[in-house]
């Protein structure tokens, strides 16, 4: 099942910008509005747009369901590992990294890392739900 030529090409032209924008929201979540969850939703939407326009059968070799499951599990485990590393430095959930300068992209200790993990996890999770719904067709 494939949509028409115009829809396919337009989604192709828009999707790199959407991916870049979601990575921007993910990395700059501690400076600007947004955060991990929103970035993950945009990331999932940019892939779902491509899949609905081109047909999920045609993209089977480029995106794979197993990858998304693996990414989601790895990210869930790494969030837990990251918050429990703080035990070594004093307390659970302790922000153990150097805080940096106020208002720069590299600052805030482990908050950007937390945003990245949550963003990838949410994006992969929505893709897994999408695949589960797709199985009924």
Partner 1 sequence: MSRIPLYLKERIEEVNKRALLDSFESQKLPRWEKTAITWFALMIFWMVVSASFHWQNILIGSIVTFIVSLLMYDMFTGDIQSSGNVVIKTLRILLLYIPQYIFIMAFRLLESNLKVMKHAIFLDINPGIVKIDSDLHSQTGLTILANSITLTPGTMTIDTVRKLDESKLYVHWIDVETMDRDKAGSMIKGDIEEWLKNIFW
Partner 2 sequence: MIEYVFLLLGVILMITGSIGVLRFPDVYTRLHASTKCDTGGAMSILIALTIVAEAPMLIKVKFLILAFLIAMINPMIAHAIARGAHKSGVEPEGIIDIYARDGF
Partner 3 sequence: MTADNLKRLVALLLVLSLAYVLLPMEYSRSDDMVSYEHYVENWEEVGVSNLVMGVLADWRLYDSVIEAMIFFTGVLGSYLLLEDESK
Interaction site with partner 2 (CB under 8 A): 3-4, 6-7, 10, 13-14, 17
What's the 3-state SS for the chain?
CCCCHHHHHHHHHHHHHHHHHHHHHHHCCCCCCCCHHHHHHHHHHHHHHHHHHHCCCCCCCCCCHHHHHHHHHHHHHHHHHHHHHHHHHCCCCCCCCCCCCCCCCCCCCCHHHHHHHHHHHHHHHHHHHHHHHHCCC
Of residues 96-115, those binding partner 3 (CB under 8 A):
99-100, 102-103, 107-109, 111, 114-115
Residues in region 16-55 near partner 1 by CB under 8 A = 16-17, 19-21, 23-24, 27-28
Q: Which is nearer to partner 2, 5 or 66 (CB)?
A: 5
Q: Of partner 3, partner 1, partner 2, none, which one sits near residue 3, judging by CB under 5 to 8 A according to partner kind?
A: partner 2
Site for partner 3 in 35-94 (CB under 8 A): 35, 72, 76, 79-80, 83, 93
127 class by beta-carbon count within 10 Å (0-12 exposed, 13-18 middle, 19+ buried)? buried
Instruction: Check residue 64 for interaction with partner 1 (CB under 8 A).
Output: no
Please state the closest distance from residue 12 (CB atom) to partner 1, in A: 5
**Total of chain residues touching partner 3, rule CB under 8 A:** 33
Check: CB of residue 21 under 8 Å from CB of residue 42: yes
Cβ nearer to partner 2, comparing 7 with 97: 7
Residues 89 and 110: their CA atoms lie apart, in Å, by 13
Tell me which residues touch partner 1 (CB under 8 A): 4-6, 8-10, 12-13, 15-17, 19-21, 23-24, 27-28, 104-106
């Amino acid at each position: 099942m494939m949509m028409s030529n115009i829809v396919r090409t337009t989604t192709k032209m828009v999707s790199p910008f959407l991916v870049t924008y979601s990575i921007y929201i993910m990395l700059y979540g501690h400076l600007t509005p947004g955060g991990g969850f929103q970035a993950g939703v945009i990331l999932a939407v940019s892939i779902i747009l491509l899949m609905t326009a081109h047909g999920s059968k045609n993209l089977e070799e480029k995106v794979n369901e197993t990858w998304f499951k693996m990414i989601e599990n790895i990210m869930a485990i790494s969030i837990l590992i990251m918050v429990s590393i703080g035990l070594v430095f004093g307390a659970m959930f302790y922000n153990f990294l150097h805080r940096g300068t106020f208002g720069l992209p590299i600052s805030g200790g482990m908050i950007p890392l937390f945003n990245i993990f949550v963003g990838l996890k949410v994006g992969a999770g929505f893709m897994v739900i999408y695949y589960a719904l797709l199985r009924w067709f």
